[in-house]
Structure 1
Amino acid sequence: MSVTSPAERDELNHLLVRTGQQDEKAFSTLYRKTSGQLFGVCLRMISDRGQAEEILQEAYVTVWRRAASFDAARASALTWLVTVVRNKAIDRLRQHREMTGGDALDFDAIVDESPTPAAGAEASQEYQRLQECMGELEPRQRTSVREAFFTGATYNELAARAKVPLGTMKSWIRRSLLQLRACLNA
Structure 2
Amino acid sequence: MYKNYSGALYGVIIRIVRYEVEANEVLQDVFVKIWNSVKSFDATKASLYTWMLNIARNSAIDRLKSKSFQNDLQNQSIPDFVSDGIGLSTEQSHEFNEVQNRVNTLRDDYKVIINKAYFGGLTQEEIAEELQIPLGTVKTRTRAALIELREILKEFKFIFLFFLFK
- TM-score, reference length from structure 1: 0.58
Q: Is the Cα contact below 8 Å between 2:26 and 2:60 reproduced in 1?
A: yes
- Structure 1 counterpart SS, 2:130: helix
Deviation at 1:181, TM superposition (A): 2.3
In the alignment, the residues of structure 1 paired with residue 6 and residue 118 of structure 2 have an alpha-carbon distance, to the nearest angstrom, of: 21
User: In structure 2, which of residues 22, 25, 47 is the aligned counterpart of residue 75 of structure 1?
Assistant: 47
In the alignment, the residues of structure 2 paired with residue 142 and residue 111 of structure 1 have an alpha-carbon distance, to the nearest angstrom, of: 24
1:1-186 equivalence runs, <5 A? 30-31=1-2, 33-34=3-4, 37=7, 38-70=9-41, 74-76=46-48, 78-95=49-66, 112-117=83-88, 119-124=90-95, 128=98, 130-185=99-154
In the alignment, the residues of structure 2 paired with residue 83 and residue 154 of structure 1 have an alpha-carbon distance, to the nearest angstrom, of: 12
In the alignment, the residues of structure 2 paired with residue 181 and residue 47 of structure 1 have an alpha-carbon distance, to the nearest angstrom, of: 26
In the alignment, the residues of structure 1 paired with residue 142 and residue 82 of structure 2 have an alpha-carbon distance, to the nearest angstrom, of: 21
In the alignment, the residues of structure 1 paired with residue 84 and residue 24 of structure 2 have an alpha-carbon distance, to the nearest angstrom, of: 19
Q: Deviations over 1:6-41 (max 9, x none)?
A: xxxxxxxxxxxxxxxxxxxxxxxx44x257524444
In the alignment, the residues of structure 2 paired with residue 63 and residue 44 of structure 1 have an alpha-carbon distance, to the nearest angstrom, of: 20
CA change 1:118–1:95 in 2 (3 A) is farther
Could you tell me which runs of 5 or more consecutive residues in structure 1 were left unpaired when the two chains were aligned: 1-29, 101-109
CA change 1:112–1:118 in 2 (3 A) is farther
Deviation at 1:115, TM superposition (A): 4.0
Q: Is the Cα contact below 8 Å between 1:90 and 1:151 reproduced in 2?
A: no
Q: Deviations over 1:57-101 (max 9, x none)?
A: 22222133123334567524x5544433222112112335x968x
- TM-score, reference length from structure 2: 0.64
Q: Is the Cα contact below 8 Å between 2:20 and 2:82 reproduced in 1?
A: no
Q: Deviations over 1:80-135 (max 9, x none)?
A: 44433222112112335x968xxxxxxxxx993344325422423x862x334322
- Structure 1 counterpart SS, 2:66: helix
In the alignment, the residues of structure 2 paired with residue 127 and residue 47 of structure 1 have an alpha-carbon distance, to the nearest angstrom, of: 17
Amino acid at match of 2:150: R
In the alignment, the residues of structure 1 paired with residue 43 and residue 135 of structure 2 have an alpha-carbon distance, to the nearest angstrom, of: 34
Number of residue pairs aligned between Structure 1 and Structure 2: 144
Radius of gyration: which is bigger?
Answer: 1
CA change 1:48–1:127 in 2 (3 A) is closer
Deviation at 1:153, TM superposition (A): 2.5
